[in-house]
Chain A
């Protein structure tokens, strides 16, 4: 109740400041009139009554000031005044503002762009059910000295049948294939996967049903997008027949949620549970596994080792030096891009750091120029914080404008990055600016503002009025010239270093 009144009264004061001031002035005037009238009624002359009132109650202006200082809205007013002042200062020193904003925009833009990619590729979980329990089955071969992300049919089938730590293992293979529809054909990503594939990814059809082992080689699932593109409606796709490489297949179900594993697959063809390729030396399959919820990754990995040893003993010739490994699916998908992205991110961070330092230098030059103004403020009794606040606000404004410009710059940069990205960079289709990224950019701007404002603001607070006013040699006519020269030099220096660093980082990355 009283909070509501506080807000309402304060808001009224904010909305019409002069009305509030007038009311206070009116009330004070009435108070003094009454007081004087009282003195007069006791027989004093108007002159004497005035003096007596003043002696008793002080001056009207002091009372007015004290009474109108009350209220939270005054803090807001002071803040707004400082903000306006800061904006005016920035407008007046355009060279400084433009340089600082551009420097920060480049720094923040680069960081935002890289972070967009990093967030999507490395940080956000895979858009699948039980994403953290998914793993890719790989084969380590001592002859090669490394693991390949593929498996042979029989090995994977043995793992599937023996591993107790894995809830489901699915073998799949595929690629881009021609798909024939009633009146046309399309070339699209097709995956041959056994019936366990749906179990691994906990798929739920939005129409129709999933396929079973009994459906092998004559049933397919299609994605929601594929169904819409080719049949207009999801429901209409169920029961349709399409040809994959000439083999007729019936669409039994449609998979939703934009699921398109692996590699943007639109059509999943039911393959038999027993792998068709029986060779233990032909790595014709890939395999994904869903780890049991109550089993640790390390536990599952240990079991893979045991199974591998069993297989080595059973098939001494084919399985010599062969070991089955699990790799978390996310790691398997992001793979080598991790190091590159981290490096790029670090480089972008460095750029921002340099930008910050440069802007700080610019601010310092500005604060040298405004030493006189700050000294006068201090001499007139402003507190340290009141002197620091406008300096801080100026930096904050610069950083926020820089941040907005940076985000605008990030849009085309992200597009360029995605276009330039190597084919192997996973999940590129998912990359776009989102709330997280914008939050990151905002936080970055604020941190930047704080960093670049710290030193100038502290200097501002330390200004000794007497010294600053005495020792200010750059006054009068020469002041502007010296200032301009200094500005120019700094601008050139900053721009130079920035372009050089930027170019170097770009070269490094290439």
Chain B
């Protein structure tokens, strides 16, 4: 499996996916595109890692999936955030804020 040595990135990717899906259900490409757009191209998501992460989150019980029609009448797998996923997003957001705050304070101290 490819999750070795990508702990930080993986954790962040999970949070970004959960956040994106908290607005509305999306399919894989939609999620990737949203993450890229909103981050202003800072984050680029490669389809292999994205689809792997989606499977992982679904198995963890944070997402549900369903094959549905898209606007251009093509079947796509849409992912929805579950109640548990919403809770997880809160946990991860809080965690992230705590860490980011700590890092920011450390950097300020230096500067």
- Give chain A's interface residues, CB within 8 Å of chain B: 1-2, 5-6, 9-10, 23-24, 26-28, 30-35, 37-38, 56-58, 62-63, 65-67, 69-71, 74
Contact = CB atoms under 8 A, between A and B. Distances in A.
- Size bin of chain B's contact surface: 20 to 34
Nearest to B52: A70
B76 A6 contact: no
A33 B47 contact: no
B51 A69 contact: no
A67 B48 contact: yes
Contacts of B55: 9, 67, 70-71
A67 B44 CA distance: 17
B51 A63 contact: yes
B58 interface: yes
Nearest to B31: A31
A58 B46 CA distance: 8
Interface centre among B30, B44, B77 (most CB of A within 10 A): B77
Contacts of A62: 48
A5 B60 contact: yes
A35 B29 contact: yes
A33 B60 CA distance: 28
A453 to B, nearest CB: 27
B34 interface: no
A57 B47 contact: yes
Interface in B55-96: 55-56, 58-61, 70, 72, 74-77, 84
Contacts of A1: 61, 84
Nearest to A9: B59
B77 A69 contact: no
B46 A5 contact: no
A51 to B, nearest CB: 16
A30 B52 contact: no
List the 3 shortest-distance A-B pairs measured between CB atoms, nearest first.
A66-B48, A67-B51, A34-B29
B98 interface: no
Given A34-B30, A63-B48, 7 more contacts: A31-B51, A33-B74, A34-B27, A34-B70, A57-B47, A63-B46, A67-B52
20 contacts: A2-B61, A9-B59, A10-B59, A26-B77, A27-B28, A27-B51, A30-B27, A30-B28, A30-B76, A31-B29, A31-B51, A34-B29, A35-B29, A38-B33, A56-B44, A63-B47, A65-B48, A66-B51, A67-B51, A67-B55
Contacts of A69: 1-2, 52
Nearest to B45: A57
B12 interface: no
Contacts of A30: 27-29, 74-77
B49 interface: yes
Contact of B49 (A28, A56, A66): A66
A38 to B, nearest CB: 7
A70 B29 contact: no
B40 to A, nearest CB: 16
Contact of A31 (B44, B47, B52, B59): B47
A2 B63 CA distance: 11
Nearest to A34: B29
A26 B27 CA distance: 12
A126 to B, nearest CB: 54
A37 B29 CA distance: 11
Contact of B77 (A9, A27, A56, A70): A27
B68 to A, nearest CB: 11
Contacts of B1: 69-70, 74
A22 B49 CA distance: 18
A38 B29 CA distance: 11
A454 B4 CA distance: 29
A338 B94 CA distance: 71
A63 B29 CA distance: 13
A57 B60 CA distance: 26
Interface centre among B29, B60, B70, B77 (most CB of A within 10 A): B29
Contacts of B29: 30-31, 34-35
B59 A6 contact: yes
A99 to B, nearest CB: 40
Nearest to B60: A2
Contacts of B2: 66, 69
Contacts of B59: 2, 5-6, 9-10, 71
